Chains A and B, each alone.
Chain A
Amino acid sequence: MVFELFSGKGESQIERIEEQIQEMLAACGRTIDIATDALFGRVAPAEVGTKLRKSDRSVNRLEREIRRELVVHAGVRGASADIPAILVYMSIVKDIERLGDYAKNLWDVANAGGDLTGLAEFDRIRNDAAWVRELVDRTARIFAERDAEAAQVALNEADAKLDEFDAMVIAQLTSDRPSREGVPIALVARYLKRISAHLMNVMTAVVMPLDRLDYWDEDKADRW
């Protein structure tokens, strides 16, 4: 909704920023791939540590570049600058940058010896991670096309998924199982929830007014 009103194609460097946001999301997707490969035992965590950090650094670099370019946009355009678009981009690049951080946290769990293989929840967590990874691509597409309908569907699905992740964490809190089993499950569920929530924040830019960005992942009672 915000972008429907304030952004337009053929307008200056805003298009370039759109492309950079797509680049950021793609880089985040690659970072999550590396992290989950380590987490689910497809590669040894130590083997991919450097690659993961490099990928995350590219996300951070893009975030700084976009911020600089938004300041230039405001400076050059003066009073005719696309202020709402600037504010939205500033907000969502922070969300996207956080995806890289949480991907690193997932890798940290694997690198610290957190082992999910052999646990009853292994398949479920692996499927959830795949769902989250797919949500990165969906978000990129929804944002690029400003597909409000698809955004609404994805937000509702993700909203339900957040509850599932919360339930998984709470289940570990109240369980008697050993910490080497419960802690990695709780941490991974928490990180997948945060990745999903940040992706939801990005998608809210397509359907929500500027002042309500980021409020989708609040507790339902606190949202409005």
Chain B
Amino acid sequence: MAESPATTERSGGVPRWLRLLLVLGFLYLFLVGVKGLETGIKVFGADTAERIFGYVSSPVAGLFAGILATVLVQSSSVTTSTIVGLVGSGSLSVAAAVPMIMGANIGTTVTNTLASLGHVRRGAEFRRAFAGATVHDFFNVFAVLLFLPLELATGFLSRSASALSSALAGSEAVAGAAPGTSPIKSAIKAPVKLIEGGMTDLGLHTGWLGALLLALSLALIFLALVLITRNMRIVMAGRMEAGFNAVLGRGAGVGAMILGVVVTVAVQSSSITTSILVPLLGAGVITLENAYPVTLGANLGTTVTALLASLAADRPEALTIALTHTLFNVFGILVFYPLPAVRRLPMRAARALAEVATRRKRVVVAYLVFVFVVVPLVGIVVFR
């Protein structure tokens, strides 16, 4: 049997090894973007940065800013990498960044909720798909409700992350590279310096130079992540199918969570993982109980992007905030998964909302607009 044209089309005719090589290249561009962001902020000067981030100096405003920014770019990876870059530049403190990171966790859930709207005309199907999508929302909202006040009162997340960060920075030194002088960092700095030099030669100074560098870096981060996701989704498609089939066959549990982590780390997008679950939930081939741990794994897996971004930053605080993101999700899983009674809370909330949303479609629109747009906007204005 001849190989079908469809097969060639699907892989785009690009060999797997070349795609992986391309992904490495895009990963490099992503790190250059984070470094450029850090440099751009530094060029702006401390006063400008303080003015910009003064708007979100309150933790609640920071939380809402994280939600809104992620909803706008439809990617928590972009938001968290940007936050890591800002922390790395020293213009944003870890304490101010923690609520933003938590907000990014909530904001990213909008994508799969939007994906569930594809089922809106078919009642039972929509009920399952919407519950499966919003269980992600509820888990993150519950985790923020629990951990944000705790973090503000005790700083347990950022302190743990800081201790872990110090330990890891120590191991970097042991490995033969002093912090900030690793070969990766040097390789990332070089093109940024080149671009900065070129712009200065063109006569651009402080304000324009900083703004242009920032815009270019943000575009690079966004583009690199999109291209990594697109290519890795193609490279990983077969394995993802096998993984999801295995989860469907064996049921929920830690295996499903690991699948969520692995797929998300590979495609660098929790939205891809959770959005894949939506049609499977809608079709009824996977239950909410089986999909939930995959979602939690995706939440954890997406924190790898911030960890990668921290590779580009000079200051150890960048790694601290990236680790805070990871620990927030690890603690969230530890609280909301092992005990069946607690595990059921986000699922019950999601099912209840889906029940109402199926009966009254206006609730769906109201939920999306209020939770992801109106509340964050009002929150930023009121709490800044």
| A167, B285: Cα distance in complex, Å | 44
Shortest Cβ distance from residue A190 to the other chain B in the assembled complex, whole angstroms: 35
Measured CB to CB, the residues of B under 8 A from A are 1-10, 234, 237-238, 240-242, 244-245, 248-249, 276-280, 283, 285
Answer whether A12 and B6 are a contact pair too, CB < 8 Å, given A68-B285, A75-B279, A145-B1.
no
Q: Total A-B residue pairs with C-beta atoms closer than 8 Å?
A: 79
| A82, B3: Cα distance in complex, Å | 13
- CB pair B245 A3 closer than 8 Å: no
| A71, B283: Cα distance in complex, Å | 8
With CB as the reference atom, state the residue of chain A lying closest to B276.
Answer: A75
Inside 8 A of A10's CB, which chain B residues have their CB? 3, 7
- CB pair B241 A73 closer than 8 Å: yes
- CB pair A72 B1 closer than 8 Å: no
- CB pair B238 A74 closer than 8 Å: no
Answer whether A8 and B245 are a contact pair too, CB < 8 Å, given A71-B283, A72-B280, A80-B10.
no
With CB as the reference atom, state the residue of chain A lying closest to B247.
Answer: A72
Inside 8 A of B276's CB, which chain A residues have their CB? 75-76
Q: Which one of B5, B10, B244 lies within 8 Å of A11 (CB-CB)? A: B10
| A7, B5: Cα distance in complex, Å | 8
| A9, B245: Cα distance in complex, Å | 19
- CB pair B4 A74 closer than 8 Å: no
Q: Which one of A11, A75, A84 lies within 8 Å of B280 (CB-CB)? A: A75
Q: Residue A5 at the B interface, CB < 8 A? A: yes
Interface string of A52-77 (1 = CB under 8 A from B): 00000000000001011101111111
Q: Residue A156 at the B interface, CB < 8 A? A: no
Q: Residue A122 at the B interface, CB < 8 A? A: no
- CB pair B7 A11 closer than 8 Å: yes
Q: Residue A4 at the B interface, CB < 8 A? A: yes
Shortest Cβ distance from residue A73 to the other chain B in the assembled complex, whole angstroms: 6
Answer whether A5 and B6 are a contact pair too, CB < 8 Å, given A11-B238, A13-B238, A76-B276.
yes
| A16, B248: Cα distance in complex, Å | 15
Q: Which one of A6, A72, A74 lies within 8 Å of B248 (CB-CB)? A: A72
- CB pair B6 A82 closer than 8 Å: yes
